Amino acid sequence: RIDELLAEVGSFSSAEKDVIEQFRIKYSGKKGILNDLFHKFKEVPNDQKKEFGQKINTLKQAVATKLEDLKNAATTNISVEKDDLTKPAFPLELGTRHPINLVRNRIVEIFKSIGFAVADGPEIEDDWHNFSALNMPEYHPARDMQDTFFIEQNPDVLLRTHTSSVQIRYMEQNDPPIRILAPGRVFRNEAISSRSHCIFHQIEGLYIDKNVSFADLKQTLQFFTSELFGKSKIRLRPSYFPFTEPSAEVDVYWGLNSETDYRITKGTGWLEIMGCGMVDPAVLKNVNIDPDQYSGYAFGMGIERIVMLLYQMGDIRMFFENDKRMLEQFKSL
């Protein structure tokens, strides 16, 4: 019987780990054949002990040698693969960063380099932080500018319609000087089209200190746009926001001095990129900052819009479709 086992061990061969492991357990496991035979050895009559013992030892040796050989074969195979550096890797595809995140990171880096810190706030907001504290009391007509998704009413719980809510939260918690950037998702109950979506991303900026002026705001934005777009100039057009006074819309003229610049293809070349203004004293009062001592500016931009300008994309819906053909085009960035 041991001879049969010996033959089986001799002819065993497999490259599969599982099968080899089963083989090992079958012979050398705790309840394996070898242990079983050693137990039986005790009951063998004395005159047969010598022969039986030798056979068991031969079998044990054969099993050990076989396992050793199989192990060597396996590692030889692996080391051949390891050494071949020209061999293509597994076909594991590397993902790409989403263009929204790429551009958000870039914008954050630019403002970090001039001392802005990153802040955030909740996407589900209350009326105070999204509207009232921003100088939009109940029945203020400006509330209609932003179609709101309400979660609950009286008291209102809603999806924030802009990142300006983070201004309020930050100023409630921190004393000036304040210099923050707040990127995040915002939500508006708007019809979805190539130009607008019910979810998009904004980046809010806020700077509060002594003697902050409109000129500081313009300088900062000029610095920002030339960092992001390269050679460019900006203009500020008068506008209206309840929480800033005066308020302005920022246009960038991009591709200056270059008639062949493919990025400017239509219109006058002026492209609107954000809203901004000096923080309204009423807002400062709402967060217990003394408007006689402090002043500041705020700005807010839509990230999708900027990505679309930078990369010539024509449809905002693409950002949420996760079409790999679109995403892969950002691989090298």
**Which of 207/299 has CB closer to ligand PHE?**
299
Question: Which residues, 6 or more positions from 285, have their beta carbon under 8 angstroms from its beta carbon?
Answer: 291
Contacts to ligand PHE from residues 104-163, by CB under 6 A: 162
245 marked ligand binding residue: yes
Binding string, residues 289-328; x marks residues near ligand PHE by CB under 6 A? ---------xxx----------------------------
| DSSP code for 329 | G
**Which of 29/246 has CB closer to ligand PHE?**
246
Least separation in angstroms between CB 249 and ligand PHE: 9
Least separation in angstroms between CB 95 and ligand PHE: 30
Is residue 276 within the footprint of ligand PHE (CB under 6 A)? yes
Binding-site residue total for ligand PHE (CB under 6 A)? 11
**Which of 176/184 has CB closer to ligand PHE?**
184
- Alpha-carbon gap, residue 150 to 161, rounded angstroms: 10
Contacts to ligand PHE from residues 72-101, by CB under 6 A: none
> With CB under 6 A as the contact rule, which of the stretches 116-124, 219-227, 269-277, 282-290 interacts with ligand PHE?
269-277
Is residue 275 within the footprint of ligand PHE (CB under 6 A)? yes
Is residue 183 within the footprint of ligand PHE (CB under 6 A)? no
Contacts to ligand PHE from residues 229-248, by CB under 6 A: 241, 244
Instruction: Give the nearest residue (CB) to ligand PHE.
Output: 300
- State how far the alpha carbon of 21 is from the alpha carbons of 17, 62, 65, in Å: 6, 16, 15
Question: Which residues, 6 or more positions from 305, have their beta carbon under 8 angstroms from its beta carbon?
Answer: 273
Is residue 224 within the footprint of ligand PHE (CB under 6 A)? no
Stated as kind and residue range, the H or E segment containing 252 is strand 244-254
Burial of 39 (0-12, 13-18, 19+ CB in 10 A): exposed
Least separation in angstroms between CB 274 and ligand PHE: 7
**Which of 162/169 has CB closer to ligand PHE?**
162
Helices (H), the chain: 2-11, 17-28, 33-41, 46-83, 99-112, 127-130, 164-173, 214-229, 281-286, 303-311, 318-321, 324-327
Contact 277, 250 (CB under 8 A): no
Least separation in angstroms between CB 165 and ligand PHE: 9
Contact 37, 59 (CB under 8 A): yes
Contact 196, 316 (CB under 8 A): yes
**Which of 255/302 has CB closer to ligand PHE?**
302
Is residue 164 within the footprint of ligand PHE (CB under 6 A)? yes
**Which of 203/228 has CB closer to ligand PHE?**
203
- State how far the alpha carbon of 189 is from the alpha carbons of 67, 138, 159, 206, 215, in Å: 68, 19, 10, 26, 35
Is residue 207 within the footprint of ligand PHE (CB under 6 A)? no
- Alpha-carbon gap, residue 118 to 105, rounded angstroms: 11
Q: Which of 185, 216, 135, 189 is nearest to 302 (CA)?
A: 185
* Strand 157-159 relative to strand 244-254, pairing: unpaired
**Which of 163/229 has CB closer to ligand PHE?**
163
Binding residues: 245
Interface residues toward ligand PHE, by CB under 6 A: 162, 164, 204, 241, 244, 275-277, 298-300
